[in-house]
Amino acid sequence: MTVALIIQGRDVQPLRSGLSDVLKDVEIQVWPQLTNLDAIEFVVAWNCPENLLSQLPNLKAICSLGAGVDGILALKDLPQVPVCRIVEENLSKQMCDYVLAQILNFQYQFTTYNQQQSQSRWQERKATTVKSVALLGVGQLGHQVANDLLNRGFQISGWSNSPKPDRAYPCFHGDDGLTQVVSNADCVVSLLPATQHTDDLFNLRFFQQMQSHALFINVGRGNSVVEMDLLYALQHKVIHSACLDVFKTEPLPQQHPFWQQSNLVITPHIAAVTKQQNIIEQIASHYVNLQSGQRLSYIVDRNKGY
Question: Does one domain contain both 78 and 220?
Answer: no
Q: Are residues 245 and 127 part of one domain?
A: yes
**CATH code, domain with 115:** 3.40.50.720
20/150 same-domain check: no
The contacts of residue 290 (CB under 8 Å, 6+ apart) are 1, 41, 42, 60, 61, 296
Is residue 201 assigned to a domain? yes
**Position 303 pLDDT exceeds 90:** no
First to last CA, the chain: 27
Q: Taking residues 5-16, report their average pLDDT.
A: 94
Domain contains 305: no
Asked whether residue 203 is assigned to any structural domain, the reply reads yes
Provide the residue range defining the domain that includes 169. 90-266
- Work out the average pLDDT over 222-247: 98
Q: Which is higher by pLDDT, 18 or 90?
A: 18
Are 217 and 282 within one domain? no
Region of 185 on the Ramachandran plot (φ > 0 left; ψ -120 to 50 alpha; else beta): beta
Residue 224 C-beta-side C-alpha neighbours within 13 Å = 25
Number of domains in the chain: 2
Find the mean pLDDT for residues 202-224. Answer: 98
**Pair 245, 264: CB distance under 8 Å:** no
130 shares a domain with 26: no
Q: Which residues of 12-30 are buried (b: 16+ CB within 10 A; e: fewer)?
A: beebbebbeeebeebebbb
How confident is residue 186, by pLDDT bands cut at 50, 70 and 90? very high
Residues 103 and 127 in one domain: yes
Domain identity same for 257 and 190: yes
Judge whether 300 lies within some domain.
Answer: no
Whole-number pLDDT of residue 90: 79
